[in-house]
Amino acid sequence: MALSVFSVIVFRWVPVPFTPLMIIRNVEQWSKGEKAPFEHDWVPLDKISPNLGKAVIVSEDQKFMEHSGFDFEAIEKAFKKNKNRKRIKGGSTISQQTAKNVFLWPQRSYVRKGFEVYFTFLIEVFWGKERILEVYLNSIEMGNGVYGAEAAAQHWFRKPAAKLSKYEAASIAAILPNPRKYKAINSSGYIERKKNWIMRQMNYLAPLNFE
């Protein structure tokens, strides 16, 4: 427990160099004899366009600025929907996803979910919303071997994350549920419709204020 608290406190200021998912993806590809691309370049939040922060909040967790790590209404809705679905839909917040990405493994299990709750509580206490969003945007998978906002901006649009337009930010956010299947450019009709929905929703989101 002391080690877990210590690691959370350290990452309050230290950039996260890699995540368990990054290692797992590379090992999986190496074991199959495939190329293992890896693009990851940590940048501070003020070097990431606010458009991307808004886009991922709209797409993944619209109550991010309001909740304390858990959106119980979304969890309840996901639970009810999943009763009759073969394909499980999650109700995880950005805080939960960040806790899982940085400290845990990706496979679903009650044990991992328990640890996820624990680490979500810790990062909400020690990090706060601004740092959680910064780590999230620098750590999540945004393409095949592409991790974080800067790598994604360069990979998909050949520009720094700071210069992402509203449409480009929505394009990246739209593929987050499965970034190895979907493309931010030359997208399918489904992703294009999702991009447009995200951009419309961004108009209603208040400016991000972490003070």
Higher-pLDDT residue of 54 and 26 is 54
Task: Locate all alpha helices (DSSP H) within 148-188, ordered by sequence.
Answer: 149-157, 166-174
Residue 122 lies inside a defined structural domain of this protein: yes
Tokens representing residue 39 in the block: 């693009």
The CA distance from 122 to 99, in Å, is: 9
Average pLDDT over residues 117-133: 97
Judge whether residue 30 has pLDDT over 70: yes
Higher-pLDDT residue of 72 and 67 is 67
| Domains held by the chain: number | 1
pLDDT at 211: 66
Residue 45 lies inside a defined structural domain of this protein: yes
Q: Name the pLDDT band for 192 (thresholds 50, 70, 90).
A: very high
Residue 59 lies inside a defined structural domain of this protein: yes
Average pLDDT over residues 135-144: 96
Looking at residue 70, which CATH number applies to its domain?
A: 1.10.3810.10
Q: Name the pLDDT band for 22 (thresholds 50, 70, 90).
A: very high
Residue 209 lies inside a defined structural domain of this protein: no
Residue 69 lies inside a defined structural domain of this protein: yes
Give the residue among 164, 159, 157 at the shortest CA–CA distance from 199.
Answer: 164
The domain in which residue 139 lies consists of 39-202
